[in-house]
Amino acid sequence: MYSILASIDPIAFSLGPIDVRWYGVIIAVGIIIAFLVGQREMVKRGLHPDFLTDLLIWAVPLAIVGARIYYVIFQWEHYKDNPAEIIAIWNGGIAIHGALIASVIVAYLFTKSRNTPFLKVADILAPSILIGQAVGRWGNFINQEAHGGEVSRTFLENLFIPDWIINQMYIDGVYYHPTFLYESMWSLVGIIILLLLRRVNLVRGELFFFYVIWYSVGRFFIEGMRTDSLYVIGELRAAQVVSVVAIVIAIVFVVYRRVKLKNPPHYLDK
């Protein structure tokens, strides 16, 4: 009989009556690491040292708002009868696709206001976005959420993952797919590829579009394992629909720019 450890306490520490959760701590750590990586590359690419800081001041809070709006839209049957809960983000209910969509809009408007090419900034930040996602998924691990369907302990042991991960996947007497781990590892591989592709000096925008395609392909298949998906109609999962649309748009952009632009700017261009 396997001994089961108690699940990890989702509360990291308390400041008086305020509980600080590991989820928030991990998200903050992900943002900091992503910022440091992105900041260094931005300066190398000739942008002002404060550019990314100024961008994040707008992007981070609006990304949270976007993540919440996206979630509420796909759970409208519940929220239309409970409108007071719409702002209760502390009870959970955010979606990364909503955060990404909001962040792209904010970044586009911000770069326009600074007379800076949006795709130049998007390329620089592509690895940082994946870093934030790779780290952030461990917040789901702590909360024992965003997991997949039921599996056996033997299945998890055959993945050669540590016992502390296996034990955290034991929820209410059942083991589940650690889909948070699958997505985190997929993102980690994507980060490595993006850092290598920087040296290839691709056409401007292609690093960002590679990120979109890479993340969307992984998310499409991992989403199919999850048990907490948002749905469009019937069994049609919202994240899978968004992923397919994002892949198509990214491919169209890459092909169009390769065919139509005579002398397109490249990643290493100032």
The CA angle 224-215-121, to the nearest 5 degrees, is: 155
Is the confidence at residue 3, as pLDDT, over 50?
Answer: no
H or E stretch including 236? Answer: strand 236-237
The CA angle 229-231-233, to the nearest 5 degrees, is: 155
> Average pLDDT, stretch 216-234?
93
Instruction: Tell me how far apart the alpha carbons of residues 83 and 85 are, in angstroms, rounded to a whole number.
Output: 5
Which of 112-121, 132-141, 182-191, 229-238 has the weakest average pLDDT? 229-238
Over the chain, what is the mean pLDDT? 93
Residue 145 CB neighbour total at 10 angstroms:
16
Cα 117 from chain centroid (whole Å): 23
Tell me the one-letter amino acid at 195. Answer: L
> Average pLDDT, stretch 49-72?
95
Which of 6-10, 106-110, 248-252 has the weakest average pLDDT? 6-10
| Integer-rounded Cα radius of gyration of the chain | 20
Tens of pLDDT along 121-175? 999 999 999 999 999 999 999 999 999 999 999 999 999 999 999 999 999 999 9
Work out the pLDDT band at 234, boundaries 50, 70, 90. Answer: confident
- Share above pLDDT 70 across residues of the chain, in percent, rounded to a whole number: 98
Token pair, residue 140, equals 């789901």
User: What is the residue extent of each domain of the chain?
Assistant: 20-200
Instruction: Tell me how far apart the alpha carbons of residues 28 and 250 are, in angstroms, rounded to a whole number.
Output: 29
Tens of pLDDT along 20-59? 889 999 999 999 999 999 999 999 999 999 999 999 999 9
Specify whether the CB–CB gap between 215 and 130 falls below 8 A: yes
Is the confidence at residue 5, as pLDDT, over 80?
Answer: no
Is the confidence at residue 2, as pLDDT, over 60?
Answer: no
Is the confidence at residue 100, as pLDDT, over 80?
Answer: yes
> Average pLDDT, stretch 191-206?
95
Of the two residues 102 and 270, the one the predictor is more confident about is: 102
Spatial strand order of the sheet with 174-176 comes to: 150-151, 174-176, 170-171
Supply the pLDDT for residue 6. Answer: 58
